[in-house]
Amino acid sequence: MFDKPLVSVIIRIHDRTIYMNEAINCALNQTFKNIEILIINNGLSLDIITNLIPQLQNEKIKLITISNNSRALALNTGIMHARGEFIIFLDDDDLLHPKMIELSLVASRNFQADLIAVGYRFFRTYIDITADLRDFNCPKATNILQTLIDRNIFPINTVMVRMNKITKNNLVDENLECCEDWELWLKLI
């Protein structure tokens, strides 16, 4: 196959405790196994965390707690602690396809790309009913920058980026209350 670089999966958790174990499990259950998982605890008490996340005993997982309640600070904190050659971002209510990392690495190698974005499926769950199921494909590469200037076309959990492309100069503005991922994509493209 090819060299197996370390991939850092950064999971920001805040207040969606009903989903966070699923988010962590989908990272642990990737077909590509050379990963570290950085859980950025953004405001939950450690008692809640240790009761809700049985996976914390896994050697691949590192818990980092911040007390700022800033999504942007959580993103930057994860980036600063990541050791991987690549980074994938995930929020506590997101899931990854089991082959997302493996296929993204193949695409990065085949196209010599430092940033890979994939399509995604959006759904909402209400009690036991899944509704609003929609699939989104990535736009054609011919005009990605202009499209990205107009709107955020890449949710945070659809991008894998080579770590050496992120520098202190392109970390996100920690005063942002939303769209921090969009700001990062604009700085990287």
pLDDT of the residue at 189: 80
Q: Is 77 exposed, middle or buried (0-12, 13-18, 19+ CB in 10 A)?
A: buried
List % helix, strand, coil for the chain (3-state, nearest 5). 40, 25, 35
pLDDT of the residue at 125: 57
- Over residues 66-75, the mean pLDDT reads 86
* Residue 26 confidence class, pLDDT cut points 50, 70, 90: very high
Residues 6+ apart with CB under 8 A from 107: 113, 116
Task: Give the global pTM.
Answer: 0.85
From residue 97, give the alpha-carbon distance in Å to each of 83, 89, 125, 161, 189.
22, 13, 18, 17, 24
Q: Return the ∠ at Cα 134 (arms to 129 and 159), rounded to 5°.
A: 115
Mean pLDDT estimate for the chain: 83
pLDDT of the residue at 139: 58
- Over residues 44-55, the mean pLDDT reads 74
125: β partners: 130
pLDDT of the residue at 122: 62
Residues 6+ apart with CB under 8 A from 63: 39, 41, 49, 53, 56
How large a percentage of the chain has pLDDT more than 90? 38
Q: Given a cut of 60, is residue 123 above it in pLDDT?
A: no
Q: Which pair of tokens denotes residue 46? A: 């450690």
Q: Given a cut of 80, is residue 16 above it in pLDDT?
A: no
Q: What is the pLDDT of residues 108-120, one digit of tens each?
A: 999 999 988 887 7
Phi, then psi, of 166 in degrees rounded to 5:
-100, 125
* Across 53-57, 98-102, 106-110, least confident range: 53-57
Quick one: which H or E segment has residue 61? strand 61-66
- Over residues 162-181, the mean pLDDT reads 86
- Over residues 16-43, the mean pLDDT reads 90
